């Protein structure tokens, strides 16, 4: 069993898990808020607006509590992509390093990452802060992952064994092409033509990803 890639970098929302975390939180605020947040998310993922122009705005509208973030963590696991666990096991057995890079909220993604045996150091996401009573305080405004090109910035800061395959579904994932050797558009949950058009590969399942990685 030979690996074609030494490192695989994966997005989380709408890739590793079916849900878009911030949209999921917005649904707890009623139909009007949900529609507003969903439209902002879709525009950012299609590359119509920069993520940094809406990242903080969405969270300020929702103001998620610690309890809601914990519930989102459960939802991420419940909606994990079919075959993800088996694909992770196959790739690891071939010596592949697996890294998660997400513009989502770190505390919500951590349970999913741990369930897939991803080390904390290999999860890169945006930390959210709470008041002592568990209410929303803010987020890490210095995180590059709250920007359109931040995933490439994070990858440049890492020592990556090459070749590198990056996998994602949105416009913010396309930025990883500048660092990765190959970029795959994941269309298992959402097919965005602007992303597909810029991809080296198109994959529709985690079994497909593993097949592309392992010879």
Strand pairing partners for 200? none
Verify whether residue 120 is a known catalytic residue. Answer: no
d(Cα 55, Cα 62) in Å, to the nearest integer? 11
Length of the chain: 215
- Tokens 């490439």: give the residue: 152
Q: Which of 11, 23, 173, 208 is catalytic?
A: 11
Q: Is 11 a catalytic residue?
A: yes
CA dist., res. 171 & res. 78, Å (int): 25
Token pair for 142: 């210095």
Cα–Cα distance measured from residue 192 to residue 33, given in angstroms and rounded to the nearest whole number: 23
**Which residues are catalytically annotated?**
11, 13
């Amino acid at each position: 069993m030979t690996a074609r890639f030494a490192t695989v970098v994966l997005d989380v929302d709408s890739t590793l898990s079916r849900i878009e975390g911030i949209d999921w939180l917005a649904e707890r605020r009623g139909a009007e808020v949900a529609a507003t947040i969903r439209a902002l998310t879709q525009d950012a993922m299609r590359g119509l607006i920069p993520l940094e122009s809406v990242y903080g705005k969405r969270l300020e509208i929702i103001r998620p509590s610690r309890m809601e973030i914990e519930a989102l963590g459960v939802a991420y696991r419940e909606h994990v992509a079919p075959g993800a666990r088996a694909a992770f096991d196959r790739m690891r057995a071939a010596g592949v390093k697996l890294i998660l890079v997400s513009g989502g909220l770190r505390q919500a993604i951590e349970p999913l990452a741990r369930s897939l045996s991803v080390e904390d150091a290999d999860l890169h996401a945006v930390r959210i802060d709470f008041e002592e009573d568990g209410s929303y305080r803010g987020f890490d405004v210095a995180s590059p992952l709250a920007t359109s090109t931040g995933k490439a910035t994070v990858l440049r800061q890492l020592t990556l064994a090459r070749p590198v395959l990056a996998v994602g579904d949105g416009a913010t994932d396309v930025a990883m092409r500048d660092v990765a050797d190959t970029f795959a558009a994941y269309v298992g949950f959402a097919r965005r033509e602007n992303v597909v058009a810029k991809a080296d590969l198109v994959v529709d399942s985690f079994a497909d990803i593993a097949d592309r990685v392992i010879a």
